């Protein structure tokens, strides 16, 4: 089944399904968020959110909430149930947002090489995570399943882990010894201590050390990295070393 939508006047920056996969949210460089009904026979959005004054760069979905970031330096939280909008001015160009698993905080990436953790209820800055490079591209971030650790790629080719409570860097891992190309995208496994990252044309699966048997490494290498050495570093309390 194929359905093509008339998306927007500009490039689409992000898309998300809702939990039931009945609604699609799309964010665009034209400053809009469009909401689409998957089951509808119409090819136009059912609603357009045009509150942003610049490009909308990312979307995250919480319990009955839609969170967005924009280059107008604001996080917008749409309360879908009650039809309310809350705005937080961050003061940095924002590229990516994640909501914590307990729904209490949100984590934003900025073009000033800072990850910033905020209290969702009152907008208070809780932590700032430093010592990584992000001033040009969108770099995705993730939280561990227990919300104890923060993960991010970096424009200098590293995968980095911080302790959420202390903001101290737990570890920093290069994907390849002499490759400093940007690591833009990553995702944490929804249940297990595993991460997927990508650098250039390769996908990397990062496992907890005791989960990797020698015979498994060859299969992982064949599945994920073509003709390149697979590196599976150790986890340290859900971080890497």
Q: Which of 100-104, 121-125, 202-206, 228-232 has the lowest mean pLDDT?
A: 228-232
What is the predicted pLDDT for the residue at 207? Answer: 81
- Evaluate whether residue 219 is within a structural domain: no
Residue in 22, 35, 27, 125 with CA at minimum distance from that of residue 83: 35
Number of structural domains, the chain? 1
Strand order in the sheet with 47-49: 12-17, 23-28, 33-37, 47-49
Calculate the average pLDDT of the chain.
85
Residues facing 204 on adjacent strands: 197
Q: Which of 102-116, 189-203, 226-240 has the lowest mean pLDDT?
A: 226-240
Comparing 71 with 9, which gets the higher pLDDT? 71
Quickly count: other Cβ atoms within 10 Å of residue 231's Cβ: 15
User: What are the DSSP E strand ranges found in 54-114?
Assistant: 56-62, 65-70, 74-79, 84-89, 94-99, 105-110
Token pair, residue 142, equals 């993730």
- Evaluate whether residue 231 is within a structural domain: no
What is the predicted pLDDT for the residue at 6? Answer: 54
Q: How far is CA 174 from CA 111, 114, 123, 204, 233, in A?
A: 21, 19, 34, 11, 10
Tell me how far apart the alpha carbons of residues 28 and 15 are, in angstroms, rounded to a whole number: 9
Token pair, residue 52, equals 């942003």
Q: Which CATH number covers residue 57?
A: 2.130.10.10
Strand order in the sheet with 185-188: 185-188, 194-199, 202-207
What is the predicted pLDDT for the residue at 90? Answer: 97
Residue in 78, 139, 143 with CA at minimum distance from that of residue 105: 143
What is the predicted pLDDT for the residue at 37? Answer: 95
Provide the domain limits for residue 142.
12-188
Q: pLDDT per residue over 36-91, tens digit each?
A: 999 988 889 999 999 999 999 999 999 999 999 999 999 999 999 999 999 999 99
Q: pLDDT per residue over 165-213, tens digit each?
A: 999 999 898 988 888 899 999 999 988 888 999 998 899 998 866 555 5
What is the predicted pLDDT for the residue at 85? Answer: 97
Percent of the chain exceeding pLDDT 70 equals 82
Token pair, residue 44, equals 């136009």
- Evaluate whether residue 78 is within a structural domain: yes
- The H or E element spanning position 219 is helix 214-224
Q: How confident is the model at residue 236 (pLDDT cuts 50, 70, 90)?
A: very low
Q: Over range 21-26, report the average pLDDT.
A: 94
Output the pTM of the full model: 0.82
- Evaluate whether residue 202 is within a structural domain: no
Residue in 68, 57, 160, 149 with CA at minimum distance from that of residue 114: 160
- Evaluate whether residue 129 is within a structural domain: yes
Q: How far is CA 163 from CA 49, 125, 126, 168, in A?
A: 35, 16, 13, 6
Residue in 61, 62, 66, 73 with CA at minimum distance from that of residue 48: 66
- Evaluate whether residue 201 is within a structural domain: no
């Amino acid at each position: 089944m194929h359905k093509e939508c008339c998306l927007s006047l500009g490039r689409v920056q992000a898309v998300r399904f809702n939990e039931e996969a009945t609604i699609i949210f799309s964010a665009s460089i034209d400053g809009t968020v469009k909401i689409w009904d998957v089951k509808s026979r119409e090819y136009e959005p059912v609603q357009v959110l045009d509150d942003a004054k610049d490009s909308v760069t990312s979307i995250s979905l919480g319990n009955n909430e839609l969170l967005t970031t924009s280059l107008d330096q604001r996080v917008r939280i749409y309360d879908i149930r009650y039809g309310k909008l809350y705005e937080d001015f961050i003061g940095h160009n924002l590229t990516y947002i994640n909501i914590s698993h307990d729904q209490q905080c949100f984590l934003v990436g900025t073009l000033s090489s800072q990850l910033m953790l905020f209290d969702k209820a009152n907008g208070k800055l809780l932590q700032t995570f430093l010592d990584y490079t992000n001033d040009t591209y969108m770099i995705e971030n993730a939280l561990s399943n227990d919300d104890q650790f923060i993960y991010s790629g970096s424009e200098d080719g590293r995968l980095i882990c911080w302790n959420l409570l202390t903001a101290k860097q737990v570890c920093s891992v290069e994907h390849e010894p002499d490759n400093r190309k940007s690591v833009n995208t990553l995702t944490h496994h929804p249940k297990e201590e595993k991460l997927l990252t990508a650098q250039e044309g390769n996908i990397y699966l990062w496992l907890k050390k005791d989960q990797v048997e020698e015979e498994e490494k060859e299969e992982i290498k064949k599945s994920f990295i073509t003709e390149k050495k697979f590196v599976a570093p150790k986890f340290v309390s859900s971080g890497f070393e």
